[in-house]
């Protein structure tokens, strides 16, 4: 399944032509490298490739005795997402590092991170996007069911947090969920 992406400059839909996403309105183009849509001109020197870990646990079934470890992993992050987000939902994971294999089995996942290297390790997500979520999450308005993140929030300034929340509100469908696990700030 292909998800609709928009131009960060003018919010018009992008068209995929070969290894490029192009905006028919402003003419901007964004490369697709290794299956990753790259909306950043330069790699971030601090974060590039630093977070590559992947949560590989996938329960044998959705029965309680198989899923209880989800409550323990990452301080209950996977459990909380499972509890609040329906199976098959379109979910954007902000700062997803190497991804969560269970999420890839349960949802239509979109990984957003500023690190191309981290995104290159994400497996089985529908879409991978290198972007700065405080500037633009290049998804069309009202197209996702949930936005989730684990230990992403504390890496942003207060001004950035406001911008990220506006972007989350823009891309969420009515009734959409936000599930963030973060350190207390």
pTM: 0.82
Between 78 and 132, the higher pLDDT residue: 132
**Structural tokens at position 159:** 């001004």
Smallest Cα–Cα separation from 89: which of 52, 126, 39, 34? 126
Strands 127-130 and 144-150: unpaired
Q: Is the pLDDT of residue 74 over 70?
A: no
- The per-residue pLDDT for 68 is 60
Between 1 and 140, the higher pLDDT residue: 140
Smallest Cα–Cα separation from 97: which of 154, 165, 48? 48
Give percent above pLDDT 90 in the chain.
48
- The per-residue pLDDT for 122 is 87
pLDDT in tens, 89-135: 999 999 877 788 889 999 999 999 888 888 888 888 999 999 998 88
- The per-residue pLDDT for 48 is 58
In which band, very low, low, confident or very high, does the pLDDT at 44 lie, cut at 50, 70 and 90?
low
- The per-residue pLDDT for 63 is 78
- The per-residue pLDDT for 42 is 74
- The per-residue pLDDT for 37 is 94
CA angle 74, 161, 148 (to 5 degrees): 35
Q: Is the pLDDT of residue 149 over 70?
A: yes
Give the DSSP letter of residue 114: S
- The per-residue pLDDT for 145 is 98
- The per-residue pLDDT for 121 is 84
Are the C-beta atoms of residues 7 and 23 closer than 8 Å to each other?
yes
């Amino acid at each position: 399944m292909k998800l609709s992406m928009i131009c960060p400059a003018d919010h018009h839909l992008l068209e995929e032509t070969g290894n490029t996403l192009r905006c028919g309105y402003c003419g901007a183009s964004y490369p697709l490298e290794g299956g990753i849509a790259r909306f950043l001109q330069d790699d971030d020197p601090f974060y590039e490739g630093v977070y590559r870990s992947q949560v590989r646990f996938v329960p044998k079934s959705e029965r309680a005795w198989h899923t209880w470890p989800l409550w323990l992993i990452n301080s209950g992050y996977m459990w909380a997402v499972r509890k609040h987000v329906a199976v098959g939902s379109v979910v954007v994971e902000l700062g997803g590092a190497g991804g969560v294999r269970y999420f890839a089995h349960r949802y239509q996942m979109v990984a957003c991170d500023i690190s191309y290297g981290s995104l290159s390790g994400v497996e089985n997500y529908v879409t991978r996007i290198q972007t700065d979520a405080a500037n633009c999450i290049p998804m069309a308005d009202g197209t996702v069911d949930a936005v989730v993140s684990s230990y992403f929030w504390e890496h942003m300034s207060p001004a950035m947090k406001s911008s990220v929340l506006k972007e989350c509100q823009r891309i969420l469908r009515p009734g959409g969920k936000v599930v963030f696990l973060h350190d207390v700030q």
